[in-house]
Amino acid sequence: MFMARQRRVVVTGIGTINPLGNSVEEYFDNLAAGVSGAAPITHFDASLFKTRFACEVKNYDSANYFDRKEVRKYDLFTQYALIVADQAMADAGLDVEKIDKDMAGVIWGSGIGGLESFYQEVKGYVEGGYVPRYSPFFIPKMIADIAAGYISIKYGFMGPNYCTISACASSNHALIDALNYIRLGKADLIITGGSEAAVNEPGVGGFNAMQALSTRNDDPKAASRPFDVDRDGFVIGEGGGAMVLEELEHARARGAKIYAELAGGGMSADAYHFTAPHPEGLGAMKSMLGAIRDAGMKLEDIDYVNTHGTSTPVGDPAEIKAILAAFGEHAYSMNISATKSMTGHLLGAAGVIEALASIMAIDRGLVPPTINLSQVDPEIDQRLNLTPNVAQPRDVRAVLSNTFGFGGHNATVIFRKFEND
């Protein structure tokens, strides 16, 4: 039976706003320099919280991007989404009037959505007495799919439009869905990514209650320390990232710059525990091997693994076990790093900003480091190149990037250097 050649999907535009920068260039420059985005919390008075620091977006003023009416309608996670989508669209050099809008879509990821809006509205009701006075914007500001909706409205894209919600795997799932919709011919172009804005009282308080966050209040910049023996939890972050994915011939026809090819994606479930990963990394291994099969690649093709690497006591060793189980001896030839050591953990937006780091590693020939790595945990194989503390130059042909979420959700994407064949 004749099988048509699978449509190839490439990255033609990128954008981000996150704790290390308000553009992709600023972001990767700081990653390469090993800069930490952690600092005392400014969004609210955290003096009574166990954790009093986070990785917040710096130098952000909504008035520089939106008018007052728009700010009333947009939760912060939606603001971030619109900003990074604009950056990616501008970077892609797209003329919206020349796009078949029925074949253009938006697939967005967010693990929590408008948590701040939910918190403020409920708080206002509780403090204001028994008269239920809620804003008419409350529900539209809160729901996680609204960012995708606003992006599609802005550009008039009438193709696939929805939100993926799978905790910290959300934006990687969005990338994989976008990849497959384009492969299947259901879209030629999709804006995809994710955003999150949970550095607030319920976000920090809730994760504190789970004992998930680092409490290294005396030294925030050293708090996120994946693979280190002294790690004590993750550092919560915020922001967003976006990319324009296009079918290859669609991109070629308009002479687009191509950053990399999104070669494949893998997904799995741990089926183990509602928050803890499988201790042997079984689900993570299946996700990675699935991505490699989907990309039609060999284990030896992967030069760099951007890990989920959250700096939690149980998560880091499990992921390393999964990498070793998946790659065998080749694991010792790869670079491995955890960029969350610098950005903190952006929850549902983690996958896309790590995907952007992966793309830029290919583009720049430079692997960003795992900072704050003073002494590798004895549970972790000491022979692995965890890219400690300093970026390492390398001709990066392909990167595998992991994200895992509460509920046992695993999602892996692979980017490779674009070759005109």
Over residues 217-246, mean pLDDT: 98
Cβ contacts of 390 within 8 Å, gap of 6 or more: 34, 369
Query: How high is the pLDDT of residue 358?
Result: 98
Query: Which of 250, 278, 308, 409 does the annotation list as catalytic?
Result: 308
Whether the per-residue pLDDT at 364 is higher than 50: the answer is yes
Q: In whole angstroms, what is the distance from residue 284 CA to residue 305 CA?
A: 13
Annotation marks residue 55 as catalytic: no
pLDDT, tens digit, for every residue of 382-397?
999 999 999 999 999 9
308 given a catalytic annotation: yes
Distance CA 156, CA 88 (A): 16
Among the listed residues 168, 250, 278, 409, the single catalytic one is 168
Structural Rg of the chain based on CA atoms: 20
More confident residue, 36 or 4: 36
* Residue 357, pLDDT above cutoff 70: yes
Residues 6+ apart with CB under 8 A from 223: 38, 53, 214, 216, 232, 235, 311, 372
pTM here? 0.96
Q: pLDDT at position 2, please?
A: 38
110 Cβ neighbours under 8 A, 6+ residues apart: 77, 81, 144, 147, 163, 165, 170, 171, 194, 195, 196, 348, 349
Amino acid 1: pLDDT: 36
Going 103 to 104 to 108 to 114, the CA torsion angle's sign is negative
User: For a pLDDT cut of 70, what percent of the chain falls above it?
Assistant: 98
What pLDDT digit, counting tens, does each position of 199-224 carry?
999 999 999 999 999 999 999 999 99
Chain mean pLDDT for the chain: 96
Measure the CA–CA gap between 120 and 71, rounded to whole angstroms.
Answer: 15
SS (H, E, C) 24-75: HHHHHHHHHHCCCCCEECCCCCCCCCCCCEEECCCCCCHHHCCCHHHHHHCC
In this predicted model, what pLDDT tens digit does every residue of 165-183 receive, in sequence order? 999 999 999 999 999 999 9
Q: Does 340 score more than 60 pLDDT?
A: yes
191 and 106 Cβ atoms separated by less than 8 Å: yes
Q: How many other C-beta atoms are found inside a 10 Å radius of the C-beta of residue 45?
A: 10
Instruction: Kindly report, residue by residue over 367-386, the tens digit of the pLDDT.
Output: 999 999 999 999 999 999 99
Which residues, 6 or more positions from 136, have their beta carbon under 8 angstroms from its beta carbon?
A: none
Q: What integer is the mean pLDDT of 398-409?
A: 97
Among 173, 250, 278, 345, the active-site one is 345
- Residue 130, C-beta contacts closer than 8 angstroms, at least 6 positions apart: none
Model confidence band, residue 334 (pLDDT cutoffs 50, 70, 90) = very high
Q: What is the band of 127 on the pLDDT scale with cuts at 50, 70, 90?
A: confident
Nearest CA to 329 among 306, 365, 302, 308?
Answer: 302
Active site residue 173: no
The closest of 355, 329, 327, 337 to 392, measured between CA atoms, is 337
pLDDT at 3: 42
Task: Please compute the mean of the pLDDT values over residues 149-165 and round it to a whole number.
Answer: 98
Q: Please give the residue that has the higher pLDDT: either 5 or 344.
A: 344
